[in-house]
Structure 1
């Protein structure tokens, strides 16, 4: 092989590495603000419960309802983005989502009553859902083979990082800037992240090929170093017959796994949002002060990040399904142990393990789903996971509010949540790989004449 050709291949590899780093970095930052947006409410809800001068009188039941509005918006936004993203591309949807939820957070900070607060939480949730649903598809299509679960885990770790950041900033700043200042922080991507993404976030090469835009895909592949998909004739013909978007999700061979993946995600997200909304209140009920209770959110989401990153490496080697099952079971066991009278240090350890079994599990589920579907329906698949799963997310804050309003003991509430985790593990065991032709492979494009001259 000639020296010039070797240099060209090295340059293509270097370009791909830079592209992967940029995409994963921007996507992670986007989901940090995404996670901040959805969890900041849990960090300030105690303010609403205690002070009716903020947005009016808020009861525990109304607080649970308000907490669900953003998740309803997320559900709608994710499902819409799934179809739109498979048709117009990943990049356009993600850029729109960055702008949308930033403006939504800013307007939310300015409202003065619970009705408008709920409306704006729904509107903001539309952008949040679109971003969560589209990010996994783009990252899965750009990440190298053998590192797709890891790249997805790094990216979706942005959600618990944002949750952690929300709790940390609430501890440090809530007394001085109030809940309105906390929401204004969530609007900052409009000034920082969006301009960066416009210049550095490429479209998916695989998506361009799936839409028949071969020339654009070839040019983008050479510029970014991301391999141009190629496949044997049989696989190409199968790809042409593959239904696009949500129609593909419910076609023969996919409909049952699609339903199971939706309920699997719903189980995890019910736990995620029940705990991120109500854990501080539960721990106050267990005798901790406000700042100490918020600290449990830090530990919960820190455990999710570490657990998901470790789990993703195992998933890349052995497959994501057994890892997701194990995460559900481990998290449920940790919740049961939290019902015991434990020293603080041991309690914090179990809270971090609960983070693995809730937010950490959901991160792994996104990677599982992104790798499960072929390119023509991948965006819709991740959108279904994020969107239908938000039914569980909507139910989480409502469930917590209902259980608290019913006067149940903190230990009883943890028993209920542990049971939901075990249901999630059982659903995951039922998911089977569908019978379909071999997936399209990715191979490096041939360098252009200009590149080798």
Structure 2
């Protein structure tokens, strides 16, 4: 079926809106990831904020949001393939915005931790749904690129958090920093209600053909009935039942791979400023390392994703883990500041950048009927690593280990990520017996 220029233009506009809205949404996920790291030194040194906080407590507080992300992502995976992509994303925007606002008004470590957990629920639901929607609207041959652009929002948001902390933290305090995270409720959410469509592929997979045709006409996408991976629901189980019934081994390996990647991401984003403070840099200088880390993580995967679309995402993800391992190990060297910042940029590409590529990998690995569950599993189970990141960092520091030893531990985890990535089967096999190569 030929596509008219008008239809192609309509599809392009739809894709721009989807990627734009999804990217901004994930920017606030990235902001939430790093904003705690920018204020943790304040909590450690000033008991008048939320009470006395030592490194172990700080690590636990950092993990509460990630526990929320884990629960939110897994819950979204259990209902997202039934409820739909659009409704899940709108609900997630509203939820995490309100929870961020509430966090800003807490006065004890306990209430701070509770609202960090509640914020994580919304962030998890968003992470579990975004890649599925983007993949189902992205053109063939550019799915990894579109997801890389979208998920670059996470490090861009982290970059914004670090930059805003350098400029504003002394003026608005940590409460003002958290209030910034509530802005999507009055900005992004109204735009998404207006411009975010439901996935045509998901509608077809649920047997809602007439509704799918209407949305396809409005958005300019083609009806996907001919795609063997997108069939009505009776062709296979949906959600977690289909994921673990038909794709158990790759799902488990993907979950472990994501957990390893996120352990690295959250360890560094939570504790890098404190480690750099202990290495002799001042407060603003230590925050600048976060700026470089996340700036490189935002830009690098967009370039690398072109190779993932051409050669397949698995070898590219493995190579990115390898880059991260080498760069983290190089952080132990006595280098001039300029060289150290260049190494930190490579660390960003090899950690947060790797996680960006992982989401694109997973979103294109599974068929539509279990895609939401697959991405949710990646984001949710992976958050076990995210939960462990702040905890491990806090425990390693509390144990009195040297900065060099801590970096070598993290480099070893990146090597584990390579092994897990290479162990994932090269393609997925649909229950009908037809091979459907991933990526």
TM above 0.5, yes or no, is yes
Q: Please give the residue correspondences for 1:80-229 in structure 2 after superposition, counting only pairs within 5 Å.
A: 80-229=75-224
Secondary structure of the 2:390 match is helix
The residue aligned with 2:340 is: 347
Tell me whether 1:360 sits opposite 2:353 in the alignment: yes
Aligned residues: 433
Write out the 4+ residue segments of structure 1 that deviate beyond 2 Å after TM superposition: 234-241, 434-440
Q: 1:17 to 1:235 in 2, by over 3 A?
A: closer
- For residue 42 of structure 2, the aligned residue among 35, 39, 47 is 47
Tell me whether 1:245 sits opposite 2:225 in the alignment: no
Shift of 1:359: 0.4
The residue aligned with 1:22 is: 17
Q: When the two structures are superposed, what TM-score results if normalisation uses the length of structure 2?
A: 0.96
The residue aligned with 2:284 is: 291
Tell me whether 1:408 sits opposite 2:418 in the alignment: no
Alpha-carbon contact 1:235-1:438 (below 8 Å) kept: no
Shift of 1:438: 5.3
- Alignment deviations for residues 231-284 of structure 1 (CA, whole Å, 9 cap, x no partner): 27x7777973321011111114x1011000000000000000000000000011
Tell me whether 1:31 sits opposite 2:26 in the alignment: yes
Tell me whether 1:269 sits opposite 2:262 in the alignment: yes
Q: 1:312 to 1:237 in 2, by over 3 A?
A: closer
- For residue 59 of structure 1, the aligned residue among 42, 54, 62 is 54
- For residue 417 of structure 2, the aligned residue among 402, 424, 433 is 424
CA distance in 2, matches of 1:88, 1:250: 19
Tell me whether 1:323 sits opposite 2:316 in the alignment: yes
Alpha-carbon contact 1:61-1:405 (below 8 Å) kept: yes
Q: 1:236 to 1:67 in 2, by over 3 A?
A: closer
- Alignment deviations for residues 210-247 of structure 1 (CA, whole Å, 9 cap, x no partner): 00000000011011001110227x77779733210111
Alpha-carbon contact 1:283-1:293 (below 8 Å) kept: yes
CA distance in 2, matches of 1:235, 1:193: 32
Whose Rg is larger? Answer: 1
Alpha-carbon contact 1:264-1:424 (below 8 Å) kept: yes
5+ residue gaps in structure 1? 441-453
